[in-house]
Amino acid sequence: MKTIQAFRFALDMTPRQERDVLAHAGAGRVAHNWALAQVKAVMDQRAAERSYGVQAELLTPSLSWSLAGLRKVWNVAKPEVAPWWGEVSKEAFNTGLDALARGLKNWAESRNGKRAGRPAGFPRFKSRRRTTPSVRFTTGAIRVDPDRMHVVLPRLGRLKLHESARKLARRLDNGTARIMSATVRRDGGRWHVAFCVEVERADRTPALPGSVVGVDVGIKHLVVLSTGELVDNPRHLSVAQTRLRALGQALSRKSGPDRRTGRRPSKRWERAAARVGRAHARVANLRRDGLHKLTTELGATYGTVVVEDLNVIGMLANRRLARYIADAGFAEIRRQLAYKTAWNGGRLLVADRWYPSSKTCSGCGAVKAKLALSERDYHCQACGLVIDRDRNAALNLAALAAKFDTAGSGPVAARGADRKTRARGQVAVKREPGTASAGQAGTVPPQGRTADRVLTRAL
């Protein structure tokens, strides 16, 4: 199967190479800001003309918001706007214009109701000090050196890698991968290069193709499996909180920037800010590494993985638990499972958001009307079962796979249409896109509000 995959490597650049990359990132920022100013000027001019009653055919011609249209306008004006344009690659300007084109498209689709999720705001001008420097190359010489410790990029030349690129080089040598683009970006004080690669992946089969596992995520335990396995929550942010607090206090004692007076930050403030950034980057790297190891093991072992459709944004509205929820990475677990199950020949089933996984007895199927978040053990009044609530939820999720197979195809319940817990009803189980045949979903009883996700009340 062909898929798009990213390969990310850390760079060890010389000071001169770093200045070249910063020059390319600055060129992209100049093109972005100039094009955004032109778009705003045309929009304001047309709005003013409409207010004076000018007919539609006599209005100032609108400016195309597509990448091709913005690039055409930029190529005409760049000799005056950026007389130094020949010193950097054309991909630098294309990076800024592409970001603007995507931002304008997202804003327009969000206003017209064509874009799901939170409303997208109108693009803003990029600041040299607050914008993360990055540049993307789509054409030219992009390759990995035979020593696998260097990469070659247009105009930047040969850059040294901090680690070997053998995983990507092997696929390129075998002809099972094709580099589509390369992005150089500074993250947490370190430069990285990310290759967007079209990979031909071999067909795989999970170690236990007929097995089903329910995955219940939480704070006390990061993951509770229906098999009884518990994965502790490492809480990387909480562990690093003492050091982050000390670094933040040290930063506050330095002379930082002041936008009101135009004061620039001192060198000591910049060094202290860099230390804070590196500390946060280390936490993010530890979290990313742990989640990748967990999801890789689940995707390679089980044929069917069942998870919940959690309202993570709503859960983050709880100020008491927002830090711990964000540190756990609930949404990232589901995102990684979506493509890793497909890579390994498995499938991912997503239970409806209001399915009462914790309030349903895994033994007899009885459903409680209410279950407080403080009740860590589930006590069934019908059959007398006493079980850990997270294990009970994982078992109920695993049981949905069998009901899905017997129910066949059916309609998907409306998202959040009914939040009341009932002993009888229907709840949709849907396959994650890319993990199974499109359009298949089963309806299985019952439906209701997920009690152990009571944090969604903050909505």
Supply the pTM of this predicted model: 0.82
Residues 163, 411: Cα–Cα separation, whole Å:
49
pLDDT at 225 exceeding the cut of 60: yes
Per-residue confidence band for 314, with pLDDT thresholds at 50, 70 and 90? confident
pLDDT at 442 exceeding the cut of 50: no
Half-sphere exposure of 243 (CA within 13 A, CB side): 14
Within the chain, what is the greatest distance between any pair of CA atoms?
80
Provide the annotated active-site residues: 216, 308, 390
pLDDT at 448 exceeding the cut of 70: no
Peptide bond preceding 446 in cis form (omega within 30 of 0) = yes
Q: In Å, how far are 363, 369, 451 from 422, measured between CA atoms?
A: 17, 7, 12
Per-residue confidence band for 254, with pLDDT thresholds at 50, 70 and 90? very high
Indicate the burial class of 211 (C-beta count within 10 angstroms; 0-12, 13-18, 19 or more).
middle
CB 398 within 8 A of CB 226: yes
pLDDT at 440 exceeding the cut of 60: no
pLDDT at 426 exceeding the cut of 70: no
Residues 396, 419: Cα–Cα separation, whole Å:
18
Task: Give the N- to C-terminal CA distance of the chain in Å, as an integer.
Answer: 41
Residues near 433 by Cβ (< 8 Å), separated by ≥ 6? 338
